[in-house]
Copies of this chain bind each other. A is one copy, B any other.
Amino acid sequence: MNSQENSSVTPLGAAAPLGRPGRPQPVTLRQVAEAAGVSTATVSLVVNKKKTARISDETRQRVRDAIRDLGYRPNAMAQTLVSGSSRFIGLVADAIATTPFAGQIIHGAQDEAWKHGYALLIANTEGNRELETDAIAMMLEYKVRGILYSTWFHRPTDIPASLKESDFVLVNCFSTEPGSRAVVPDEVQGGRSATEILLKHGHRRIAFINATIPAPAKDGRLQGYREALEAEGIPFDAGLVLEAYPDQEGGYGATEELLKREATAVYCYNDRMAMGLYDGLREHGLSIPEDMAVVGFDNQEVIAAHVRPPLSTVALPHYELGAAGVRMLLGLDEAPAADPTKIHCPTVERNSVRALAPA
């Protein structure tokens, strides 16, 4: 009917396509080529801005117009198929958001991946081995560039067999298996930093409420505490180290014992314990930081920034862990010195520590 000129009878109008109801079939390279009166090769060259290609400005413009008019979008699946490797990075996590922490790993990984033109494919396994295997299989089938295998708390792990079929980096966990790359928080430095906050305010009798449950964090944070004291020439006193379950109730319950130690300051294994300790100290009519200086660990925002007074603490670098994991996967960082690369835990000072009043 309206066959004036060969203006490609818009293929969008063709009888109902097979796709999902109501959605037009996506526009392909071929359609663009026909509309512009060139070959698909030419369109591809224009789309990909190949500098080596010799295309006249006139043609280039015609192609661009056609692309715009038709609303063309490249089919990434086809591109991946020919190029052999996708622009995906997989992230498998054992707890995607049971904790606010894991979220930051995702966040950091996502940002960094995106920065390098990769998209994040995520799977949470909730600790279920079977789910984990399936998730990794899925990622392998989608030809991911590599896989980030992450845990929500810093711990040793073993490496699922299928993980080795791809490039991978362990995030927030590590393995003794040779040849595996890993990024973890620098617990020792963190413990040192936490203690140093107190030291630099003049405190000398500093208690440490450690966790009861074994973990790299437990050992590392203790070691950091010892190192910091040692650097100041303060002898380590095992009597100043308590242990409690690492949550609010644990911190609260440790109050009595802590007060017997006659410390002027306390460093808690984590912010949740500090929060519980706040309640315990308050019940004894003590105020923070006047009667007791307190530092935490983790920088768990909802807690640390908002208890009264706001808590000085050391942050777990989850965002950085995710980002560093991606960089390591892509081989962007120079080869790391230490085996599990250790990420710095920055100090976050608020108002729970004050200079020790002269005795």
Instruction: Specify which chain B residues have a CB less than 8 angstroms from the CB of A86 in the assembled complex.
Output: 77
> When chains A and B are docked, how far (Å) is the Cα of A119 from the Cα of B124?
10
Contacting pair B302 A272 (CB below 8 A): yes
> When chains A and B are docked, how far (Å) is the Cα of A252 from the Cα of B138?
49
Scoring A residues 293 to 337 as 1 if CB is less than 8 Å from chain B, else 0, what string do you get? 000000010110011100000000000000000000000000000
> How many copies are assembled?
2
Q: From A71, which residue of chain B is reached at the shortest CB distance? A: B165
Which of the candidate stretches A104-112, A227-235, A342-350 sits at the interface with the other chain?
A104-112
* A77 partner, pick from B96, B121, B143, B300, beta carbons under 8 A: B143
Contacting pair B19 A84 (CB below 8 A): yes
Give, as a whole number of angstroms, the nearest-CB distance from A282 to chain B.
7
Instruction: Specify which chain B residues have a CB less than 8 angstroms from the CB of A85 in the assembled complex.
Output: 19-20
Contacting pair B122 A73 (CB below 8 A): no
Scoring A residues 75 to 98 as 1 if CB is less than 8 Å from chain B, else 0, what string do you get? 111101100111000000000111
Chain B CB within 8 A of A153 CB: no
Chain B CB within 8 A of A248 CB: yes
Q: A77-B77, A143-B76 are in contact. Are A111 and B124 (CB under 8 A)?
A: yes
Contacting pair B100 A96 (CB below 8 A): no
Chain B CB within 8 A of A102 CB: yes
Contacting pair B249 A306 (CB below 8 A): yes
Instruction: Specify which chain B residues have a CB less than 8 angstroms from the CB of A102 in the assembled complex.
Output: 97, 103
